Amino acid sequence: MLPRIAVTSGEPAGIGPELCLRLAHHEGVLQPVILGDRSLLAERAAALGIDVVLRDFDPENPVDRSRLDVLHLPLAAPAVAGRLDPANAPYVLALLDRALAGCRSGEFSAMVTAPVHKGVINQAGVHFTGHTEYLAEKTGTPLVVMMLAGSTERGPLRVALATTHLPLKEVPAAITRDMLERTLRILHGDLQGKYGIAAPRILVAGLNPHAGEGGYLGREEIEIITPVLDVLRAEGMRLSGPHPADTMFTPPVLEQGDAVLAMYHDQGLTVLKYATFGHGINVTLGLPVIRTSVDHGTALELAGSGRADPGSLFEALAEAARMAARKAGAR
């Protein structure tokens, strides 16, 4: 049986709906189900000349690669490409809630998310910092780990984050021994369970320039990061660091690890997105369900143009299917 993957179409004014329509020609070993407003998808397909036949999703229907299954959830207000409307924020969140419910019930094997616009959701009066935090709250998961991954000429690059969407001035206080230890345990466990790496090698970045330069440029490496690494190494985890971030991403260092743990968002993701943009993906580790996503935003300036690249969505879908197959095989 092919893994059935829920794909949320994201912000209706962005490129998400048209990227999802491109899945009609995806040849992966899986069954994508698009969650979104069927009329919106049909209108966007007609406007862009995308040849696709939409079919109402029914779990009893046989897989038909000539049709694209759509689980219809209605817009709250008409959507115009490139023009945000806070009235549709509840619709965007309803897509996530339905996909999550389907994953938890076994209706779907995994969920893949197209981009949402954090600003317009907050403008609608809903506090929202991102998919990662939203799904953690909805599943009652006390800590999840955001990891971006992609292929490079030298092999896979996986970058996880100790902190995610925080103002830079709040990062040092957020990095505690307890949080860092739990983050590393989640990363280690999911590299084993979701990626099939028996003994993962994790490169850990320092927080400060030159990893603190022996304490002269900051003491977080001495007082927080190194003690945690020592505890986990004693348990058998293969951890190296804390590494200066400016040299950690050089080939001789990267080849010594299966994944990197960066201390904050831009420390890790600047390099990752440069190296893999267009084909990188976002994975939420530590959730009770499989969730992957594109590594880019809503690209309002491209919405409705037909020029948006579906590469990242294709990669996210393929990775979700691989994880689902590995999970099914482990049962």
> Looking at the predicted structure, is the pLDDT value of residue 278 above 80?
no
Return the higher-pLDDT residue of 285 and 152. Answer: 285
Q: Write the CB contacts of 30 (distance below 8 Å, at least 6 apart in sequence).
A: 2, 3, 4, 5, 317, 318, 320, 321, 324
Tell me the percentage of the chain whose pLDDT exceeds 90: 87
Q: Read out DSSP for 146-184?
A: EEEEEEETTEEEEEEESS-S--GGGHHHH--HHHHHHHH
Q: Where are the alpha helices (DSSP H) in the chain?
A: 16-21, 38-48, 89-105, 118-123, 131-139, 171-174, 177-193, 220, 226-234, 245-248, 251-254, 265-276, 311-330
Using pLDDT thresholds of 50, 70 and 90, give the confidence band for residue 119: very high
Q: How far is CA 250 from the centre of its chain?
A: 24
Using pLDDT thresholds of 50, 70 and 90, give the confidence band for residue 330: low
Distance CA 180, CA 177 (A): 5
Residue 185, token pair as written in the block? 């345990």
The helix-helix angle for 177-193 and 311-330 (nearest 10°) equals 80
Distance CA 119, CA 301 (A): 16
Which of 27-36, 196-205, 249-258 has the lowest average pLDDT? Answer: 27-36
Question: How confident is the model at residue 223, as a pLDDT?
Answer: 97
Tell me the average pLDDT across 29-58: 95
> Looking at the predicted structure, is the pLDDT value of residue 247 above 80?
yes
Q: How far is CA 167 from the centre of its chain?
A: 20
| Residue 91 near residue 57, CB atoms below 8 Å | no
Using pLDDT thresholds of 50, 70 and 90, give the confidence band for residue 308: very high
Q: Write the CB contacts of 153 (distance below 8 Å, at least 6 apart in sequence).
A: none
Among residues 23, 11, 65, 103, the alpha carbon closest in space to that of 323 is found at 103
Question: How confident is the model at residue 239, as a pLDDT?
Answer: 98
Tell me the average pLDDT across 297-308: 94
| Residue 21 near residue 49, CB atoms below 8 Å | no
Q: Which domains does the chain have, with CATH numbers?
A: 1-141+289-331 (3.40.718.10), 143-286 (3.40.718.10)
Q: What are the pLDDT digits (tens) for 98-114?
A: 999 999 999 999 999 99
> Looking at the predicted structure, is the pLDDT value of residue 279 above 90?
no
Q: Give kind and range of the element (H or E) at residue 242.
A: strand 238-243
> Looking at the predicted structure, is the pLDDT value of residue 331 above 70?
no
Using pLDDT thresholds of 50, 70 and 90, give the confidence band for residue 165: confident
Mean confidence (pLDDT) of the chain = 94
Distance CA 109, CA 325 (A): 9
Which of 61-75, 173-187, 249-263 has the lowest average pLDDT? Answer: 61-75
Residue 97, helix vs strand vs coil: helix
> Looking at the predicted structure, is the pLDDT value of residue 148 above 80?
yes
Question: How confident is the model at residue 25, as a pLDDT?
Answer: 80
Q: Where are the alpha helices (DSSP H) in 199-264?
A: 220, 226-234, 245-248, 251-254
